[in-house]
């Protein structure tokens, strides 16, 4: 297919452009008129309409192949011929979609790369500063809790002292024994009303602290960059914790979903070892398959 000529287009901002411009942060009133360079064959991509006859051809050839009785030499020959016809229709579909898919992939790759570049600094700042805010909030909460505990303890001690003083005054005043006994019993249970402690940090106007529970290997430092390592790069201590976890699973003290088969990695080992693959609890087998012979064309 021939290359698309460079197009000199005079683009006016449409309603979508205006909407995007209105959504820009204050202070960034920049014109939003973005267009892909003429080197990108976007018009061809947007005008692409696949031929539905290709889909019908694949469906028909597939039905014929699926209906072949693959028994005996003649059955094998018919199945072989039917599959060749299916492969031809599949190749035709791939050829028709090759250029549009390639262009779409290039456009997608370019735009996602640009988007990532635009967002990198902002998302990094959100993550880093957000983490700092969370850590500081937790620190202040801990200080508030400790201050509240101390203030409440002092208030409770004062309440007990006052209750004790009332019991002693009643005893000195020759109050009825049952009254004195009741006042003495109240001494140990006497507590003050909940004490108010002024918060150390004012509420945030634009940020909300949320919970985000996750999991890591026991003993992994919280400032470790990789909190969920793969077994290949895990430290010796982390691998030991995996042994501890598996022992707990065998003892039915931990859920079995905490571990699973890594089928891609295991399959890779099986393909490399073939019949020599030997791992306890697993077995390799030849699932078989077929493919077209290179250089063969249907006559």
**Residue-wise DSSP of 195-220:** PP---SSPPPSS-----------TT-
Band of pLDDT at residue 28, cut at 50, 70 and 90: low
Measured CA to CA, the distance from residue 194 to residue 148 in angstroms comes to 9
* CA pair distance 42, 31, nearest whole angstrom: 23
SS3 252: coil
Judge whether residue 184 has pLDDT over 90.
no
What percent of the chain clears pLDDT 70, i.e. is strictly above it?
Answer: 84
Torsion sign across C-alpha atoms 132, 138, 139, 141: positive
Tell me, yes or no, whether 251 and 163 share the same domain. Answer: no
**273, 255 in Cβ contact below 8 A?**
no
Q: Which residue has the higher pLDDT, 77 or 297?
A: 77
d(CA 184, CA 179): 9
Does position 274 have pLDDT exceeding 50, yes or no?
Answer: yes
- For residues 266 and 162, membership in a common domain is answered with no
- Same structural domain, 170 and 22: yes
Range of the domain at 79: 15-214
- Mind listing the pLDDT tens digit for each residue in 158-175? 988 988 898 888 888 888
Give yes or no: residues 165 and 40 share one domain. yes
Residue 299 placed within a domain = no
Any domain includes 9: no
Q: Does 156 lie in the same domain as 49?
A: yes
Average pLDDT over residues 246-264: 93
Contacts 24+ apart (CB under 8 A), 39-42: 39/6, 40/103, 40/106, 40/107, 40/110, 41/3, 41/4, 41/99, 41/103, 42/103, 42/107
- Identify the CA nearest to 142 among candidates 224, 150, 2, 75: 150
What average pLDDT score do residues 272-290 get?
A: 91
Contact indicator for 17, 35 with CB cutoff of 8 Å = no
Q: What's the mean pLDDT in 15-22?
A: 51
Contacts of 140 (CB under 8 A, 6+ apart): 199, 200, 201
Q: At what angle do helices 72-172 and 52-66 cross, to 10 degrees?
A: 100
For residue 183, the tally of other CB atoms under 10 A from its CB is 20
Q: Is residue 274 part of a domain?
A: yes
End-to-end CA distance of the chain: 27
Chain-centroid distance, C-alpha 159 = 53
- Residue in the structure block whose two tokens are 């002292």: 161
Contacts of 228 (CB under 8 A, 6+ apart): 214, 215, 216, 217
d(CA 62, CA 66): 6
Please indicate, yes or no, whether residues 187 and 237 belong to a single structural domain of this protein.
no
C-alpha to C-alpha distance for 141 and 147, rounded to whole angstroms: 10
State the residue for tokens 């070892």: 273
Q: Global pTM? A: 0.58
Phi, psi of 73 (to 5 degrees): -65, -40
Judge if 54 and 135 occupy the same domain.
yes
The two structure tokens encoding residue 41: 């064959």
The total number of structural domains in the chain stands at 2
Residue 87 in any domain: the answer is: yes
Residues 112-155: tens digit of each pLDDT: 999 999 999 999 999 889 888 888 888 898 999 999 999 999 99
Domain co-membership, 210 together with 235: no
Is residue 161 one of the residues assigned to a domain? Answer: yes
């Amino acid at each position: 297919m021939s290359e698309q000529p460079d197009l000199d287009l005079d683009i006016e901002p449409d309603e979508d452009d205006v909407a995007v411009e209105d959504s820009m942060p204050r202070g960034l009133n920049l014109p939003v008129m973005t267009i892909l360079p003429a080197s990108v064959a976007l018009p061809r991509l947007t005008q692409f309409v696949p031929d539905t006859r290709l889909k019908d051809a694949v469906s028909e050839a597939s039905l014929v192949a699926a209906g072949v009785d693959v028994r005996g030499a003649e059955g094998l020959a018919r199945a072989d011929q039917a599959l060749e016809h299916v492969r031809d229709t599949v190749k035709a579909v791939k050829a028709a979609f090759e250029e549009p898919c390639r262009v779409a992939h290039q456009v997608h790759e370019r735009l996602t790369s640009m988007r990532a570049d635009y967002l990198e600094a902002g998302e990094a700042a959100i993550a880093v500063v957000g983490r700092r805010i969370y850590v500081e909030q937790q620190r202040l909460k801990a200080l508030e809790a400790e201050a509240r505990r101390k203030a409440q303890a002092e208030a409770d001690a004062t309440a007990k002292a006052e209750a004790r003083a009332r019991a002693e005054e009643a005893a000195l005043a020759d109050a009825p024994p049952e009254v004195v006994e009741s006042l003495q019993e109240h001494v140990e249970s006497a507590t003050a009303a909940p004490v108010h402690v002024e918060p150390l940090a004012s509420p945030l106007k634009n940020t909300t602290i949320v919970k985000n529970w996750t999991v890591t290997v026991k003993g992994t430092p919280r400032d470790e960059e990789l909190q969920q390592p793969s077994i290949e790069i895990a430290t010796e201590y982390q691998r030991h914790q995996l042994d501890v976890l598996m022992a707990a699973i065998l003892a039915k003290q931990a859920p079995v979903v905490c571990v699973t088969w890594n089928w891609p990695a295991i399959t890779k080992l099986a393909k490399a070892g073939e019949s020599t693959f030997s791992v306890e609890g697993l077995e390799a087998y030849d699932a078989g398959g077929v493919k077209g012979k290179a250089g063969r064309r249907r006559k």
